[in-house]
A and B are shown apart, each in its own frame.
Chain A
């Protein structure tokens, strides 16, 4: 099957701007799913609100387009009530970590078997370019006309600290690595986080003189390094790519099954 077999053609054309990184993420995700040979009926996409969250409508799986920031909470209900399903939760950076920050860290702590994808464009795209918790210090946005004084999160560090058992980062430039990471994240039993640096030329790019979509992708090429690379020692501003954590811990649904066994024996 080609990637085309996984999309809902009737939902197209998509709403993304020319040059938006989200299309690359979609392509990469579908390639990963195809590679893994998963059955379409076993996949659920749960998204929140924002440009990135529209991704769920475009794919031919069970899709749940929810409310802002709560995709992980909806996904928790789907997964716990039907543990056999593969749940993929694509979110924007504001969606996942501003309004949705609480759900994000708690799902990580529980180690529920979800694949959380944070499409990080460092801006609120759909509402027109306000700063997000990932914009970072010094960035310009429609709500930071001088410059942004909020510091950003490091999604990878935050996820590790919150207890996620698989944490990785890549970019829309490094598509092969990204696809590879998606495969591993989906197969991982437990809460997996994949941060994807994804360009928004329309708002982040224009406000911050980052150039065209191609320029922004070149920035990813030139300013990211494989995890553990020595170059980071000389230039701490470089962003690491790759898998940060991949470990085994008891998964939440499986743990709950043990509770059911105990409860049934006692009753």
Chain B
């Protein structure tokens, strides 16, 4: 990969990637530890003719980006725990009305105002289940700036492909840490263009009528097709309906369009998995400590591997099951009470072999924290 080399914060890497992906509308409300994303975009967006809005709160921010996405723009907002909580209702609207959008949550410790300037990974389940009702969602994460760049572009691509909000779930260490980033050349990472209807003016356009491949062509608000968008259950014209058949089919469509493509959406990094007896499963900044443990343990001759998840939802049960099939011990490393742990236990044949190495005190989990737990599990004392 050749390109511009930069030394940046993770939040800045996210901004670079969003601009690369074609972001041209951002609305947000400042909140630690995501604030730098808004700050950088307020500077960068107008340079490209894009719009940056500082809204009165996170609710308004989420609503504004939905409105802008409908007119054909690539949109994003960025926030942290409390702001993400506020966004949940409008997030559900974007799911229901099938509006592409990217929502970055640089996590802080919670609940409530919690631990604003310290690291946590407590919002994994909220990303999946935060909004009410049955729905599917895509949640992505990363542990290095280079990966973060790629996954941010992926987030935009997936939002456009599936007509859905995509959540980018980062943590404070990744957001604030500085490291090298190589910004790829234009065209190096393919960008997904929104699928727009080819119907001409005056032809009856059905805003919610899927093509054979399941994708639904959009028409920009303010263009030649006038249609209705609603958060109510709706037919292919966007007309509200509570017809049981229609309600059933719509919820199935919203879930299936993402669930059926899990193999395409799943992203991960694999380190020394082939012969691993002990497998660490981690994501975000915790994966960096886990990676260190794997490298040092290998040098000592231990058969330890790391499965780093970059897709958290839909949960990659198949991947986890396959990779862990031959392992004796699986240790999930995360900075919460075991939110990914639950998914891993569900995925593997032998849930008793799954353990948790966690820290919940706002301090980055260190390699020594992980090795300590490994020793206990292996009966080697502390």
Contact = CB atoms under 8 A, between A and B. Distances in A.
A82 B60 contact: no
Given A73-B63, A81-B25, 18 more contacts: A10-B237, A57-B230, A57-B240, A64-B70, A64-B221, A66-B93, A70-B60, A73-B60, A76-B67, A77-B65, A77-B69, A78-B71, A81-B73, A103-B56, A103-B59, A106-B56, A256-B46, A260-B46
A125 B55 CA distance: 29
Contact of A102 (B27, B46, B56): B56
B369 interface: no
A263 B72 CA distance: 23
Nearest to B49: A260
A260 B223 CA distance: 24
Contacts of A78: 67-68, 70-71, 221-222
B239 A11 contact: yes
B55 to A, nearest CB: 7
A213 to B, nearest CB: 25
Interface residues of B, number: 43
Nearest to A267: B47
B67 A75 contact: yes
Nearest to A103: B60
Contact of A73 (B55, B221, B223): B55
Centre residue among A63, A75, A81 by max chain B CB count within 10 A: A81
Contacts of A80: 25, 51, 53, 64, 68
Nearest to B92: A67
Contacts, number: 134
B228 A84 contact: no
Nearest to B93: A67
Contact of B46 (A42, A77, A264): A264
Given A77-B25, A264-B46, A44 B221 contact: yes
A64 B46 CA distance: 27
Interface in A61-111: 61-67, 70, 73-82, 84-85, 102-103, 106
A222 interface: no
A267 B46 CA distance: 10
Centre residue among A63, A74, A85 by max chain B CB count within 10 A: A74
Determine the main DSSP class of B at the interface with A.
mixed
A8 B238 CA distance: 12
Centre residue among B57, B66, B90 by max chain A CB count within 10 A: B66
A40 B226 contact: yes
17 contacts: A11-B239, A57-B240, A62-B227, A63-B229, A64-B67, A64-B228, A65-B230, A67-B93, A70-B59, A74-B63, A77-B27, A77-B75, A78-B71, A80-B68, A256-B51, A260-B46, A264-B49
Interface residues of A, number: 42
Contacts of B72: 81
A11 B73 CA distance: 29
B199 interface: no
A103 B57 CA distance: 9
A70 B25 contact: no
Contacts of B63: 66-67, 70, 73-74, 76-77, 103
B64 A74 contact: yes
Given A65-B230, A76-B67, A41 B25 contact: no
Nearest to A112: B53
Contact of A263 (B47, B67, B73): B47
